[in-house]
Chains A and B, each alone.
Chain A
Amino acid sequence: MKIKDFVIKALIGIAASFGIFSVFLLTQQQNPLVVYKTLIMCFVNNRYNVGEIAVKMTPVLLAGMAALIPAKVGLSNCGGEGQLIAGCLTANIVGVYICGNMPGAVGIPIMLLTAALAGMVWAAIPLFCKIRLNMNETLTTLLSNYVMYKFVSYMVFGPIKDVKGNNYPMSAKIAEQLRIPSFTGTRANFMIFVAIAAAILVWFVFAKTELGFKLRIIGGNERAALFAGYNVKRAQCISFLVAGAIAGFAGGVIMSSVEFQMRETTAHDLGFLGFLATGIAGGNAIISILTGLMLSALNVCGTSLEISTGLRSAASTILMSIILLTIFALGRRKRAQ
């Protein structure tokens, strides 16, 4: 898919979706025009809300790469969610119990690296099941997400529960110096540029290098890669572990820039949003930046929709779903004759 084609289709899709969503709004006794105006106005002259888009987009984009890279070598990683949360949890534990007294310049990199490592380990389990036991990785990665949810619950109710936290199921907060400084008036930080750069790098490797050319053969036809003498399993393993590390890193970023402490539902859904973002982008990393931006913006304006119109936040989920399905339908590949 060309970027230009995508932008045109996305704009058509969004416009059509707003039309469909109007019907829903009318059934809720809301004036669609007022609602849409609210949606747009929430980003105008509102530094904080614009920052929130970046806050959401950073992990969404990185988790998107965690789905995209394995897809290029013929594997499906639906476990970005769990890998991201594994990173988030690990960054909290490392931040609270190990790096508590370290300066930020040392502590933050340690937290992010261990987070990446944790994501990689969490990805390694379904990878082992795939490569050695020949189990379907779509299912194992998907299920591993729910195992991670339960594991986080166990941790915040037990081992890492904050002793000074009035018995709430949440961990202690990481120290002040371990928090990545944010831009004034927002919760956003420079990591958004790291995420965008990562997406561009991924695009460059797959589209513009010999390595990417070879890797894409595996995704295109695994037997063709085998007949070309490539070590298919090795390439798949490395790609999958890199993907897990990126998702884990994204979790570390969330912990050290916005969450600071672990609760039961911390960082939920970000990994799934990332998976969606690349899915709609048709596996193109550059388009993923656009879809990630769109998903994050919809997510943020859902909150203001709730505040200003009294609609439930589920309403924004409906809008998001309509937009995604419409763009998906417009962007589907025409079947070869």
Chain B
Amino acid sequence: MSDVIMKVKNLRKVFGDFVANDGISFEVEAGKIYALAGENGAGKSTLMKMLYGVYPIDGGELYLDGEKMEKYSPSVAREKGIGMVFQDFRLVPAFTALENIFLSTDNTGWMFHKNELRKRMKELSDRYSLHVNPDEVVWRLDLGQRQHIEILKVLMNDNTRILIFDEPTSVLSPNEIDAFLKLLTVFRDKGFAILLITHKIHEIVQVADVVHILRKGRLVYTFDDKETFSEKEIVAKMIGDEADGADSDLANVQAQFTGKEDVLGDGIDDKPLLMAKAITIKDDYGRPIIYNADFHVSAGMILGVAGISGNGQRELTEMLYGIRPLSAGKLALDGEDISACDTARRLELGMRILSEDPIRDNLVPEYTVLEHMAISGFPYKKKGPMIDWEELDERVSDCEEIRDLNVPDMPRQAEKLSGGNIQRMVFARAVIAHPKVFIASYPSRGLDIATVSAVHETLERLKAEGAAVIFISEDLNELFTMSDRLIVLSENSIFGPYKPREFDAQMIGEVMLKGVKE
């Protein structure tokens, strides 16, 4: 076929020192579905935003119909026939579906020709079965219908030839996903070119004609024959194999670590301290994000939690800590059923948390570091009606964790601390209380190397004291070195436990991306 619409050559994008995309070249032909696969942060979304003109191109060339694009912007992209459906929808919730579509049309007149627009919208929604009531306000529509509006917005432009979808299926339920994938093939057969970003490998295998694999901002491999790729091969290319993946995180893990040795022995699993049985947790939209799953963690053990972010990490930690209700199942701590206990009781029982976003969840802007230490359970004495701040200051400053972690000075006001300092403060506050169960979400995020190793040492020390540590991280390297057992959040479930020694990066990558371990 020679129907090349778009051609890119050596595209490059940098954010400060960070190279998000480099040396990317490919062609886009009409009537094909191109899938882009890669780990978090591989540069997929950045690349698409460049193609749509949202981000300026820092290097390389972009050709449309053989013409080199100079002053490129989303309006030029739209004019040339490129439409993008964003991951976070760009709709006005208080407007109706029709009004939202009106906003996106390049309408130059004064009038809102409602009937004309409605006719056109109906025609398009009938043709592609994109059913949505034009007069319903958007905030009442579910996410699937909102996506329909976004697609209609793009189709309303007669020029559209290339459709870009950024993680379109992440907001859909399983049967909606099937319908959506069918819709993609309909678009393809009508002659549209489709660029699809997704984390879900089976979707790629189902619909894609060409698969581009991105790793660390570079296009590392392209499958261009539908017969030649399988889920397994795609995963292997994404995380990098021995042949050409020496720079991948996962490949590094494999090269440097065979995983932590199982010093605890199998017996440790028989006496769980914290036990979750058949738990179901719902996300903010009321959909089960973790369904009917089990896991446990024993005293004196670090349980690593792996998974692509957004697979229920936040919901799981909030449920464990009593901020989010447990929809079904049972949670027991030291034999006591705590499924219905509030956070105060869980704190009493020795549970502490470092949440994924301490600024959102823990920071009281007007309070000092010392005052933060008195919040959530570090014991203090009272002097008259007030907390004895001097005594607290003395005791807190004596803790070696405070020194090791380089916690900011006690009189400093929290509002004026950097993100890393806030992280240190909240982490230190949790560990100086010598918790029995410590839920640590991304404890090394945003910290320098010295502090990261102090964090790791602190976790080891807690473990030696007999604490059960639940350790959530995106960094597989860190997970493999620190964890005694690993579980994986994926496909609305919890997989594992796995022993890091018996498990390699390849295998965990597969579980993270597809759920089941083959």
B364 touching A224, Cβ below 8 Å: yes
A213 touching B374, Cβ below 8 Å: yes
Closest B residue by C-beta to A218: B364
Most buried by A among B343, B360, B387, B415: B343
B416: contacting residue among A213, A216, A336, CB under 8 A: A336
A336 touching B415, Cβ below 8 Å: yes
Closest B residue by C-beta to A230: B344
B343 touching A210, Cβ below 8 Å: no
Interface range on chain A: under 10, 10 to 19, 20 to 34, or 35 or more?
10 to 19
A23 at the interface (CB under 8 A from B): no
Contact partners of A208 in chain B: CB under 8 A:
385-386
Closest A residue by C-beta to B372: A224
A231 CA / B345 CA spacing, docked (Å): 11
B367 at the interface (CB under 8 A from A): yes
B367 touching A220, Cβ below 8 Å: yes
A39 at the interface (CB under 8 A from B): no
A337 CA / B386 CA spacing, docked (Å): 31
Contact partners of A336 in chain B: CB under 8 A:
365, 415-416
Contact partners of A337 in chain B: CB under 8 A:
416
Chain A contact surface mostly = helix
Contact partners of B344 in chain A: CB under 8 A:
229-231
Contact partners of A217 in chain B: CB under 8 A:
364, 367, 375
B382 at the interface (CB under 8 A from A): yes
A33 at the interface (CB under 8 A from B): no
A210 touching B382, Cβ below 8 Å: yes
Closest B residue by C-beta to A337: B416
A226 touching B323, Cβ below 8 Å: yes
A221 CA / B362 CA spacing, docked (Å): 7
B474 at the interface (CB under 8 A from A): no
Contact partners of B171 in chain A: CB under 8 A:
none
Interface string of B318-331 (1 = CB under 8 A from A): 00011100000000
B145 at the interface (CB under 8 A from A): no
A:218-258 near B, CB below 8 Å:
220-221, 223-224, 226-231
Contact partners of B355 in chain A: CB under 8 A:
227
B361 touching A229, Cβ below 8 Å: no
B377 touching A229, Cβ below 8 Å: yes
CB distance from A243 to the nearest CB of B (A): 21
A:186-234 near B, CB below 8 Å:
208-211, 213, 216-217, 220-221, 223-224, 226-231
B157 at the interface (CB under 8 A from A): no
CB distance from B351 to the nearest CB of A (A): 10
Interface string of A156-178 (1 = CB under 8 A from B): 00000000000000000000000
Contact partners of A213 in chain B: CB under 8 A:
371, 374, 386-387
Interface string of B259-287 (1 = CB under 8 A from A): 00000000000000000000000000000
A216 CA / B372 CA spacing, docked (Å): 12
Contact partners of B367 in chain A: CB under 8 A:
217, 220
A226 CA / B355 CA spacing, docked (Å): 12
B10 at the interface (CB under 8 A from A): no
CB distance from A68 to the nearest CB of B (A): 15
A261 CA / B344 CA spacing, docked (Å): 50
Closest A residue by C-beta to B374: A213
Contact partners of B176 in chain A: CB under 8 A:
none
Contact partners of B416 in chain A: CB under 8 A:
336-337
B342: contacting residue among A209, A211, A221, A231, CB under 8 A: A231
A228 CA / B375 CA spacing, docked (Å): 6
CB distance from B324 to the nearest CB of A (A): 10
A209 touching B365, Cβ below 8 Å: no
B342 touching A229, Cβ below 8 Å: yes
In the complex with contacts A208-B385, A208-B386, A209-B386, A227-B376 CB distance below 8 A: yes
CB distance from A281 to the nearest CB of B (A): 16
B:53-104 near A, CB below 8 Å:
none
B361: contacting residue among A210, A220, A227, CB under 8 A: A227
Interface string of B351-369 (1 = CB under 8 A from A): 0010100001111111100
A229 CA / B364 CA spacing, docked (Å): 15
B385 touching A209, Cβ below 8 Å: yes
Interface string of B427-466 (1 = CB under 8 A from A): 0000000000000000000000000000000000000000
A:137-161 near B, CB below 8 Å:
none
B220 at the interface (CB under 8 A from A): no
B:384-419 near A, CB below 8 Å:
385-387, 415-416
A223 CA / B358 CA spacing, docked (Å): 10
B321 touching A227, Cβ below 8 Å: yes
Contact partners of B353 in chain A: CB under 8 A:
227
Contact partners of B49 in chain A: CB under 8 A:
none
A228 CA / B363 CA spacing, docked (Å): 11
Closest A residue by C-beta to B343: A229
A337 CA / B413 CA spacing, docked (Å): 13
Contact partners of B364 in chain A: CB under 8 A:
216-217, 220-221, 224
A223 touching B361, Cβ below 8 Å: yes
Contact partners of B343 in chain A: CB under 8 A:
226-229
Closest A residue by C-beta to B322: A229
B346 touching A220, Cβ below 8 Å: no
A231 CA / B346 CA spacing, docked (Å): 13
B332 at the interface (CB under 8 A from A): no
B375 touching A224, Cβ below 8 Å: yes
B347 at the interface (CB under 8 A from A): yes
A221 CA / B358 CA spacing, docked (Å): 11
CB distance from B225 to the nearest CB of A (A): 51
A229 CA / B338 CA spacing, docked (Å): 14
A:5-45 near B, CB below 8 Å:
none
CB distance from B340 to the nearest CB of A (A): 15
29 residue pairs from A and B, CB less than 8 Å apart: A208-B386, A209-B385, A209-B386, A210-B382, A210-B387, A211-B385, A216-B366, A217-B367, A220-B365, A220-B367, A221-B362, A223-B361, A224-B361, A224-B362, A224-B363, A226-B323, A226-B343, A227-B323, A227-B361, A227-B362, A228-B375, A229-B322, A229-B342, A229-B376, A231-B344, A336-B365, A336-B415, A336-B416, A337-B416
Ordered nearest first, which 7 A-B pairs have the shortest CB separation?
A229-B344, A220-B364, A229-B343, A209-B385, A228-B376, A229-B347, A228-B375
8 more A-B contacts (CB under 8 A) besides A227-B362, A229-B342? A209-B386, A211-B385, A216-B366, A217-B367, A217-B375, A224-B364, A226-B323, A228-B347
